[in-house]
Structure 1
Amino acid sequence: MDTLVLWDIDLTLVDYTGLGRKWYSEALANVVDKELAHLPEFPGRTERSLARELLKAHGVRHDDEQVERVLTELEAIGLATRPSLPSLGRVLDGAAEILGALESRGGVVQSLVTGNLPNLAVYKLAAFDLDRHVDLEIGGYGSLSDHRHDLVEAAMAQASAKHGVTFTASSVVVIGDTPMDVAAGRHHGTVTVGVATGRHSVDQLADAGADAVLSDLTDTPAVLAALLR
């Protein structure tokens, strides 16, 4: 195996705008009987950090036990919503094509570094049959840590263990739509690729230090060139 490509999900591969607010509003009401009055900034964050901020902002206990209760509730809400996900979101242009193109190449492993919880990541991708392109067992997920760079470290370690090779930083590509995605990869010295399909511009992603920045994923050869340099 030559290259490990670690994908972000939301606003990189798929768009479920507004769903996070709905899910967190329901979780807050169900866990602590509070009405949503503060919504954290989502881009680039992990579910663990979002849940902690949400609880703290609403004046309730925000220790690890309480955070776990919120995460468990989010999983339950996501499962209940799963049948409706195809109508609540969309695949971003070019996402299916580039995932398929990478899958067909030798020496490439695709997985995730996403702020989503593991099951929510599966549900969001499976709604559009994108899950079959990535190895979900070796991803870095938002249940792990408040800090996104810990997710990159976990994914690299799991991929190396599963494939019996060491994926060094120079052989790992972290791709996402936020400066936090870029920073998480840069923390470990990986190749970083920004894609301006979310709330951050090409210039903002370049300023964050991305090795390459794409306006979107529609030009498959250009995306391949950026990822497999």
Structure 2
Amino acid sequence: MRTLVLWDIDLTLVDYSGIGRRWYADALAEVAGVPLAHLPSFPGRTERSLAREFLTAHGFEHSDERVERFFAALTALAEQDRESLPRLGRVLAGAREILTELASREDVVQSLVTGNLPVLAGYKLEAFDLHHHIDFEIGGYGSLSEHRHDLVEAAISQAASKHATAFDSVVVVGDTPHDVAAGLHHGTTTVGVATGRYTVEELTESGAHVALPDLSDTPAVAKALLA
């Protein structure tokens, strides 16, 4: 049985708490020349959704052209911080071990459904040498849509096309009810991980098929993902 596992990044695999606020404030100053006055809620959101809310809240039209300029500014800021990212963040417990375990299995493909821009996703995982386990070509990224379920659809479609097969099982893993809802929208197995702002109970109530406190118990996590 072939399984496609689609990982969220922030507060599921790694923690860069605080860096988003700085990048958004600096990107706003560059694109619009105004100081930060409003910060959107980040968990589970896509970069396109966040950028549009952010620009609107600061009095600017969220046209596609302006959003793309904002994305370019975020990408440039991430590039500047690239070498510092190992000091600005941390790998969450068990993330490295479960990625490595799944990578050892020929019947598993790992990719992403993340609100991050593609370049930011790569940098955040590369900082801790986690990128080798992920197929970035078939991921669903936050530049695509305001709606997270569109990212899941894109990832599944691209994976099926690249591997010339319909996967027997698709698993979406994340730390928020948004991740869970996006997976459920497409009938995937959903696994919630309570390493962000939501508890095991809240993730279970949101509909997650399995909710884990963290990724530290590699056999238990593998069982949940490959059941």
TM range (shorter): over 0.9
Gap regions ≥5 residues in structure 1:
none
TM-score by length of 1: 0.98
Q: Report the equivalent of 2:82.
A: 82
Superposed structure 1 runs of 4+ greater than 2 Å apart? none
Deviation readout 1:88-145 (Å, 9 max, x if unpaired): 0000010000000000112000000000000000000000000001101100000000
Q: Does 1:39 align with 2:39?
A: yes
Give me the whole-angstrom Cα distance separating, in 1, the residues matched to 2:69 and 2:106. 42
| 1:98 alignment counterpart | 98
Residues 1-229 of structure 1 mapped to structure 2, 5 A cutoff: 2-167=2-167, 171-229=169-227
User: What TM-score results when the alignment is normalised by the length of structure 2?
Assistant: 0.99
Please give the secondary structure, in 2, of the residue aligned with 1:113.
strand
Q: Which runs of 5+ in 2 are unaligned?
A: none
Secondary structure in 2 aligned to 1:174? strand
Task: Tell me the SS of whatever aligns to 1:112.
Answer: strand
The 2-side partners of 1:43 and 1:213 are apart by 17
C-alpha distance in 2 between matches for 1:83 and 1:134: 20
Distance between the aligned counterparts of 1:104 and 1:181, measured in 2?
25
> In the comparison of the two structures, how many residue pairs are matched?
227
Q: Sequence identity of aligned pairs in percent?
A: 68
Distance 2:179 2:135 in 1: 19
- Aligned to 2:140, the other structure's residue is in SS state coil
Distance (whole Å) between structure 2 residues aligned to residue 206 and residue 65 of structure 1: 39
SS in 2 for 1:109: strand
